Amino acid sequence: MASNMADETYTNSKFIEFLDTEKYPINLALLLNLVVAKNPSIWENVGILLGIDAGVLDGIKMDVSHGGNPKNHFREVLSIWERNLEPPFNWCTILSILSAPIIECSTLANEIAAVLNKKDSLSTDDGTRNDQVALSSSSSSSSSSSSTLRELTALNAIQLLRDCGFRMFTNWSKVSRSLGISLDDRNRLKHKGMMNDDWSDVMESALTIWIDSGQATWDKLIEAVESEEKNTALKMKRILYKE
pLDDT single digits (tens) 119-129: 534 433 443 44
Q: Mind giving me the DSSP string for the chain?
A: -HHHHHHHHTT-GGGGGGG-TTTS---HHHHIIIIITT-GGGHHHHHHHTT--HHHHHHHHH-GGGTT-HHHHHHHHHHHHHHH--S--SHHHHHHHHTSTTT--HHHHHHHHHHHH-GGGGB-TTS-B-GGG-----S-HHHHHHHHHTS--HHHHHHHHHHTT--HHHHHHHHHHHTT--HHHHHHHHHHHHHH--HHHHHHHHHHHHHHTT---HHHHHHHHHTT-HHHHHHHHHHHH--
Res 135: pLDDT: 40
Res 219: pLDDT: 92
Res 41: pLDDT: 92
CATH numbers and ranges of domains, the chain: 2-120 (1.10.533.10), 160-241 (1.10.533)
Low-confidence residues of the chain, pLDDT below 50?
A: 1-8, 120-149
Res 163: pLDDT: 85
Which residue, among 22, 34, 141, 168, has the nearest Cα to 98 in the 3D structure?
A: 34
Res 150: pLDDT: 67
**Does this model's pTM top 0.85?**
no
Res 77: pLDDT: 93
Res 190: pLDDT: 87
